[in-house]
Structure 1
């Protein structure tokens, strides 16, 4: 059951490892990149010719639909190589390999218009344009037979590059600029003139501007300095549902996409904001309140799965985040992964796990039917619940869901509330943890609670 649920709820779309693999197929997906991404591409041309008496292989990759704004690093197979201009200077490729790229927009709109490729092959003409596609061209000189095993042991090397992806659309002035801000990226996915499904009037601009500012909040990081609250990057296929893309970006910022009272789409990122309203006894028609989670629903440990720049932009798991209060009450449960492929910082992955666990293990949940007063909660993310007879004195809560039924017999508004923990958004540099790949394995510790008792008995036997 857990495996099935994980499969259904896991972020859809291309995985980072898929993006970093050369595709050799005639009907490959068109993939767009935002922020920084390590990517390969689809092979559009591959052939040998002679250039000045030297046999040379030309390999052209279509890397990013919409274009790419920069190539910061290049790997041949899994070797990070240095370059002087376009020439690779790392052994054994030095003097034998060059890597060029075209952005796919502006003066380089035609991603296929490489002069060396057109000069070397009459079949590759000016009509082979690849307009609006960011491309990379690898050129590999042939070597003597005795050197093949050293230089090209597996054939021509796969090319991957750390790229700066497509520019994001800025609706305020109609311009385009690269960004790793998640709110800017989400608005671009929604409203880009070529790739977005929504019109500008569909978007609540005020909420997106605030979300953009919240993403840029400076938080302390391990070792000193600061880091942005939420940033990142990722890739998506133009054929996948926009809701799946939006979810990956939203998950990377603990965000919420919602409908405003004007029928527009709003967005806010995970950050504690004090409630604007308080539910009191006189507002309530019916109330059902109970424990935050059942015995078999508790999750006490989350392991964020993200993309780590420190290990060549590969997917890895961050330091686990444990809900110490829940473990003290109930004992440890099985660890679960929090898949956030758009996240590219260890501390950000841990912050998201801390916020997520606070919502998975609330002290109470409630379903409340309200009078028309409840319409005030339509756009709200939080509310206070003031019922002193139940021990709740202005208790903060998340508005988990909202429903309206004008013909309802018991209240017209129904809200599901989750007890909120404002402290789950507090953050210190020490909480960032250490990247798993850079730390020694910790000694095994016995679990607590019932699992600990079983562990002890098994150990004794």
Structure 2
């Protein structure tokens, strides 16, 4: 009885009948902390009733308003935030986003328009057009003097000065380039609505040894909220160390997964704003681990729940003064289907449904009555299913009620702290013999009674991989269709001669691709000088055309050009080919009347073809083989007229051939040979 005398004396002298306060805290703070824990532990409805003031969609978006509340987060989060700076200079747009109040552990990666991207060490996401830089909040979040671009204080001397420190704020800087109009849709498909986000490991928390670490352990995150200046701001020595250590260990236990491996038993990833009610934030965090904040016998703050606890207190009929009991649930009005969502990192940090719980026996004869159970700070579908199993057990109890006992009931005041708070009640005359969870406890020392709220419960904490229901496949598992449109196929590049006047021709290049049914795709083609790659830095000129074909203008004869193509604004450039322009591909007729003039010397004469003629070309060989003949000279002349040439090859036998050429250097069949000996 000594312990009860001490408790009774303390309660009566300090607080009055039926009230206890957490040691050193005001009754108001005590009531807020303890009542939050009860609301979550007993019905697990706290998470649904205490949504954050700032919706998740807004936390993940870029906000321009200056009065947006600051965000603080635990675990992995995808955040955008409040725009602190937005200015253009030197053809680039600079934007600083304040995403987190206080230091974060680090950056995981950036996301652009809902997709994770690779960011190089120099900040490049896409050379020239997309760059990102990150500050973790350890110091001045507005200091971007070390980035490989002009110092913001230099670039914007009056707009962004050294006074713009953003001290203790985690931020990121995005630099947008200005692509050509033809590439704008490819680089920024959402235009002015382009969204940039940072996936981060959020606030560091103190472990039980006092070291600041990154952890998703629910107990450590809740403990941080209890002691942080932007949380309850309770001195660490007012927390019951053994209780918190036990709960940290409980959260860290390995739970097997159906797909192999294990996961931490209770993890927490989520955010709150500094405008949120702390009791609501606490409730949402406790919902990730079936936890409850409570007062210990020494008046300190402990945490319990999350596991089964065999009762070490038994209340018998000898101690019970009165009892009121009723059914724990109504099978004809309460839900028989329980739907659930959590925020899934594997699904782009979007609310993601898990397979619903169904009371198949009841559904045989009853209509479906669904209820929603969401835990937005739970990052795992398996963890959510385990929490849901606990919720179902606590919502579907056989009996709930109140017993009034003598002061022996004070033994049920304080839990063991190794799990939920249970006692055993044995009262045969009331038909009761079983384990009950303690849901409330009041007492009056002067009147000599305790009033204890009880609810029957069977252990809902066991878990087998066979109970795990599958999660909808992730985008990667589904084989996400590529964002880029498949490139054009069936490309064909041809040269088109164009008769300008008389025998004067010009040359064009024409590209065609296979038609497609999609009405939003149009061929984009360009021509550039030389035999170059598709991405060469040359003077590319646009080719005019329709949806599936394009043509150049008239190009200089005998010059080399490269054509590249793609769907307009989509994908990378593809090389169609490099072509030497032949404006007139028509083969001229061979010269006629090719003969030697006289019987001495090497004077030769012939008649040029009447059309398609530009000049003649003479060849000779010491043997009678045109294939090995050497070039002698090009001879100007007129179409249909005679031409001649006198050669001086030296002594020996010689064989001559002559060809006609058009303006595109297309040659005729040879005339000859004319054989002479000098």
User: Shorter-chain TM-score: what band?
Assistant: 0.7 to 0.9
Give 1:130 shift: 0.7
**Separation in structure 2 between the aligned mates of residue 152 and residue 99 of structure 1, nearest angstrom:** 15
- Please list the CA deviations of residues 367-407 of structure 1 after superposition, one character each: whole Å capped at 9, or x if unmatched: 100110111111221111122345543x1111111112334
- Please list the CA deviations of residues 150-187 of structure 1 after superposition, one character each: whole Å capped at 9, or x if unmatched: 222422621112111111145753x4222111111111
Question: Who is 1:334 aligned against?
Answer: 369
Question: Who is 2:214 aligned against?
Answer: 178
Question: Who is 2:194 aligned against?
Answer: 157
Instruction: Specify the SS of the correspondent of 1:282.
Output: coil
- 1:96 pairs, out of 117, 120, 129, with 129
Give 1:126 shift: 1.9
Give 1:67 shift: 1.7
Question: Who is 2:445 aligned against?
Answer: 406
Question: Who is 1:166 aligned against?
Answer: 203
Give 1:236 shift: 0.7
Aligned length: 420
Contact 1:254 1:269 in 2 (8 A): yes
Higher relative contact order (CA 8 A, sep 6+): 1
Question: Who is 1:454 aligned against?
Answer: none
User: Are 2:280 and 1:244 aligned?
Assistant: yes
Question: Who is 1:456 aligned against?
Answer: none
Question: Who is 1:111 aligned against?
Answer: 141
Higher share in helix: 1
- 1:145 pairs, out of 138, 157, 181, with 181
User: Are 2:269 and 1:233 aligned?
Assistant: yes
If the length of structure 1 is used for normalisation, what is the TM-score? Answer: 0.85
- Please list the CA deviations of residues 1-44 of structure 1 after superposition, one character each: whole Å capped at 9, or x if unmatched: xxxx9998243343322211111111121111111111111100
**Separation in structure 1 between the aligned mates of residue 124 and residue 307 of structure 2, nearest angstrom:** 45
- Please list the CA deviations of residues 281-322 of structure 1 after superposition, one character each: whole Å capped at 9, or x if unmatched: 111000112221235652333222210122111112211123
Distance 1:343 1:172, change over 3 A: same
- 1:420 pairs, out of 429, 449, 457, with 457
If the length of structure 2 is used for normalisation, what is the TM-score? Answer: 0.59
Give 1:96 shift: 1.8
**Separation in structure 2 between the aligned mates of residue 66 and residue 9 of structure 1, nearest angstrom:** 27
Contact 1:250 1:269 in 2 (8 A): no
Contact 1:10 1:339 in 2 (8 A): no
| CA RMSD between the two structures | 2.5
Give 1:425 shift: 0.7
Please identify, of 253-262 and 353-362, the stretch whose mean Cα deviation from structure 2 is larger.
253-262
Contact 1:260 1:378 in 2 (8 A): no
Question: Who is 2:500 aligned against?
Answer: none
Question: Who is 1:371 aligned against?
Answer: 406
Q: If you compute each CA radius of gyration, which structure gives the higher value, 1 or 2?
A: 2
Give 1:70 shift: 1.2
Higher share in strand: 2
Instruction: Specify the SS of the correspondent of 1:83.
Output: coil
Question: Who is 2:551 aligned against?
Answer: none
**Separation in structure 1 between the aligned mates of residue 332 and residue 352 of structure 2, nearest angstrom:** 28
- Please list the CA deviations of residues 407-435 of structure 1 after superposition, one character each: whole Å capped at 9, or x if unmatched: 44xx621111111111x111111222111
Distance 1:77 1:259, change over 3 A: same
